[in-house]
Structure 1
Amino acid sequence: MPTPVRSNTQTVHYKRDWRVWWRLLRPHTLTAAFVPVSIGTVLAVDEAPIRFSLFLAMLIASLFIQAATNMFNEYYDYKRGLDTPESVGIGGAIVRDGISPTTVLFLAWSFFAVAMLLGVYICVNSSWWLAVIGTICMAAGYFYTGGPVPIAYTPFGELAAGFFMGLTIILISFFIQTGTVTTTPILVSVPISILVGAILLANNIRDLDDDQKSGRKTLAILLGRKRAIRLLAGMFITSFLWIVLLVFTKTISPWTLLVFFSIPKAWQATKGFIGKTKPIDMMPAMKATAQTNTQFGFLLVIGLFIHYWLQ
């Protein structure tokens, strides 16, 4: 980690390396972009030949939008005085590593610009209606912590994250390969959307006390800590049962039951919040929640891929 070095005049000079910029991306959140793109693409295998150039363009664009959203979060939480060097769970590029807020904001808009260029390529090879949808997705990424009334400060953060990072990305990834949208990707997107929302809920449970002091009205604050933890557990349970339902109705292959191997991580996440009040003590549970989404998503992709491979 870069460490500040003081001169005789007490000026702070920061030693920086690539890890500062890597943390700014908040890499543990990027699977929330990778997993939906992969699921939407694998679901399209049974409908049309996969165009890997479109898959890569969609994947990179989604990763850049997610990373840019993280940078906007870093910038606006700093501007509102919410981030300090002692804050838990942040990238810390501004308050700990001395990166200029202007630089962080510039990088965020630059990442959006790259995503837009990739979006043009996707639209040329599919439909220009996606330009409208993509613009809405980027606007949601910006207004999650930007603007006069950030989504993250309301009870709708989990819903917005699940809708855009789950349902929307899966359907776009499916559509650009097939030229249509069917019932299956919509149904499969439900547990992924729930688990993306769970990541935000876990974050808000961890930050509940500080968010309350800053005037936020997150879902965790409205429910209270105990009910919010119960909701998190319910979201995990619903995600697994939804896959069982889809298998039972023959919507997807029994191979997708591989997702049940991620249950221990979901249990670890839920148990890790119980009886905890300090943010630092809840970090393992927060991490386990993100890992549940990652494991569940990858196992779902593997299950779908095995099914198509065996056909």
Structure 2
Amino acid sequence: MANVAQWVQGARPRTLPNAIAPVLVGTGAAVGTGAVRPGYALLALVVAVAMVIGVNYANDYSDGTRGTDDDRVGPLRLVGSGVATPESVRTMAFAWLSLALLAGVLLVSLSRQWWLLGVGAVCLLGAWFYTGGKHPYGYLGLGEVAVFIFFGPVAVLGTAYVQSGPPSALSLIGAIGVGMLSCSVLVVNNLRDIESDALVGKRTLAVLLGDTDTRRLYAALIILPMVLSLVGALRSPAMLLGLLAAPVAYSPLRRVCGGIRGRELVAVLGDTAMVMLVWSLGTAVGLAMAILG
């Protein structure tokens, strides 16, 4: 039976910035309109965090039962390592996804944006079928596409919309940037596992692209949000605050482009998440200042 520390590891806390970043940027946009609703922002954060933890446990269950996680370099896999039964991990996944559902329904009922129930249903299906089901799309090189959509435009613009109505063009820049940086976290994760995934037939985008092009993709996903900050600055100089992430991005970029492999990429995962957080915080402040101005 897994202990508390192992369950925490299984939740993969290094991926939680993927949940925090879009809520930061979406709320920053709402603050600028003067219509920010802190309670709604908190509910959006609960939805996002519960979704990330739920999908992490769901991936652990699905990959573990397929045997994909039998030989992994990264964080502890509960099922693959044998410290927890598949049934207990599946139950944990359903519990967290249910929390996301409950918080989402409450948020929709308070904001009265009923159409978002459909968006939420698609998000839940996307969370489970990423590695679950007979034909998981994460095994077909589509994981990055889903991460971009769900943690970029959907999460950022959804957070802004329930608080302040239709988002601005600058909010869209923030949503695209967060989506790219969320993808970069997944890309470095899949780069680390490229050899083991190929051996078990898990055709991630990294497996399909190969080592060299995956590293180039990672670099593009880190650099392009900085370019978006410059583009946003054409409308409002406050958007340049996103460039505070540039110094933070230097080390992981240098290491990935320098060819590090295996366990060395585990640390890069956390560094990449930090790049996303810093860029998102700077952009959130920039959005608030830009729209207020």
Q: Is the TM value for this pair above 0.5?
A: yes
Match of 1:273 in 2: 256
Match of 1:67 in 2: 53
Contact persistence 1:48–1:177 (CA under 8 A): no
Q: CA deviation at 1:216?
A: 2.2
Counterpart Cα distance in 2 of 1:158 and 1:205: 12
Alignment of 1:1-311 (within 5 A): 16=3, 18-84=4-70, 87-96=72-81, 98-126=83-111, 127-248=113-234, 250=235, 253-274=236-257, 276=259, 278-305=261-288
Q: Deviations over 1:226-279 (max 9, x none)?
A: 12111211222211111101111x1xx423322223223322222222454641
Three-state SS of the structure 2 residue aligned to 1:82 is: coil
Q: Mind listing any 5+ residue stretches in structure 2 that lack a counterpart?
A: none
Counterpart Cα distance in 2 of 1:183 and 1:301: 14
Contact persistence 1:272–1:284 (CA under 8 A): no
Q: Mind listing any 5+ residue stretches in structure 1 that lack a counterpart?
A: 1-13
Q: CA deviation at 1:181?
A: 3.7
Tell me which protein shows more helix as a share of its residues. 2
Q: CA deviation at 1:91?
A: 3.4
Contact persistence 2:215–2:256 (CA under 8 A): yes
The one-letter code of the counterpart of 1:281 is E
Give the aligned length. 292
Distance change (3 Å), C-alpha of 1:137 and 1:271: same
Contact persistence 2:72–2:196 (CA under 8 A): no
Q: CA deviation at 1:143?
A: 1.0
Q: CA deviation at 1:308?
A: 6.6
Distance change (3 Å), C-alpha of 1:183 and 1:109: same
The one-letter code of the counterpart of 2:105 is V
Bigger mean CA offset, 288-297 vs 105-114: 288-297
Bigger mean CA offset, 253-262 vs 136-145: 253-262
Counterpart Cα distance in 2 of 1:300 and 1:36: 10
Distance change (3 Å), C-alpha of 1:278 and 1:242: closer
The one-letter code of the counterpart of 1:209 is E
Q: Deviations over 1:130-159 (max 9, x none)?
A: 110011011111111111121221222111
Q: TM-score, normalised by structure 1?
A: 0.87
Q: TM-score, normalised by structure 2?
A: 0.92
Three-state SS of the structure 1 residue aligned to 2:263 is: helix
Q: Deviations over 1:145-195 (max 9, x none)?
A: 111121221222111101101110011101101233443322321111111
The one-letter code of the counterpart of 1:303 is G
- More relative contact order in 1 or in 2 (CA 8 Å, sep 6+)? 2
Distance change (3 Å), C-alpha of 1:256 and 1:184: closer
Contact persistence 1:74–1:90 (CA under 8 A): no
Larger radius of gyration: 1
